[in-house]
Amino acid sequence: MLVLTLNLGIRAHDLGQLSLAELCKQLKDYQFTNIQFAIKKSFPKYVPSLQSLSPGIASFFGDYFANNGIKISTLGCYVNISSRDLAVRKEALESFKTHIQLARDFRASLVGTETGSVGEGFTPENFTEEAYQIARSSVLELVEYAEHFGVTIGIEAGLNHPLYSAALAKRLVDEVQSPHLKIILDGANLINLDNVSESDFILNEALDLLHEHIAMIHLKDLTVNKGQIEIVPVGKGMLNFEPILAYLKDNRPFLHATLEETQGEAIRPAIDYLKEMYYRL
């Protein structure tokens, strides 16, 4: 009999810069099944430049994790695909395309990013139609490239980015019209001071709108501290995870879910908190 379990992972770099053997040991000790892997963050000495990435190094890491029972659920390549600076945008797209080329060698099928910013850092101009169109153009280029390699693009919406809402993420999916474009949903990324009191509605709306287009769930928590949104370990904040876990259990069993911004001694309590809620639902 198949028993539904929470397919829980973590961003590898949230465990720190460890040796590969120690990283896998910790992943197994926590019983994580998968990781979001950004090689430049976890093992920067292996990739001093984009040109350092090769099928050989990708296969080495992909095989090592697989032999230890760990799946790379998402190959992280978080770059600015929306910059007005054409040189910056071109460099970002080339980096992402390199990760697309090597995804299968890493034994990953999803390459993920946010949409970035039209300027340097946050700017209100990210909320304009122009910003959305720049992001859309980049996504179309990446999706067309990914289709040649049988790889899927995961785009993550975030409040201060050109793709700042679930509705815009749904618009992007509808306009691109490709099975090689999916959404990485991070509920906390859709919450700000103006809508924090409606966080349950925001999460449920995102799940309803994006439903089958979601390829990965990010799990992080938040609270309000001194008039600002503060990210805290899962289970230590005010976010209600029941809608997300019910979606994972009842609608999308075994969909990858990844802890984010939960580190150190907070990891074990977060795992226990999520699993207890998942099995209780």
- The domain spanning residue 50 has which CATH number? 3.20.20.150
The predicted structure's pLDDT at residue 2 = 64
Do the domain assignments include residue 185? yes
23 occurs within a structural domain: yes
Whether residue 25 lies inside any domain: the answer is: yes
Composition of the chain by helix, strand, coil, percent to 5: 50, 15, 35
Flag whether 107 is in a domain.
yes
| pLDDT score for 237 | 98
The segments of the chain whose pLDDT lies below 70 read: 1-3
- 234, β-bridge pairs: none
- Number of structural domains (the chain) is 1
**pLDDT (0 to 100) of residue 257:** 98
Which 8-state DSSP code applies to residue 15?
G
Domain assignment present for residue 153? The answer is yes
Per-residue pLDDT tens over the stretch 27-52: 999 999 999 999 999 999 999 888 89
Quick check: is 280 in a domain? no
What pLDDT, on a 0 to 100 scale, did the predictor assign at position 156? Answer: 98
CB 267 within 8 A of CB 30: yes
Residue span of the structural domain in which 157 resides: 8-219+234-262
67-119 pLDDT per residue, tens:
999 999 999 999 999 999 999 999 999 999 999 999 999 999 999 999 999 99
User: pLDDT at position 243, please?
Assistant: 97
pLDDT number for residue 4: 75
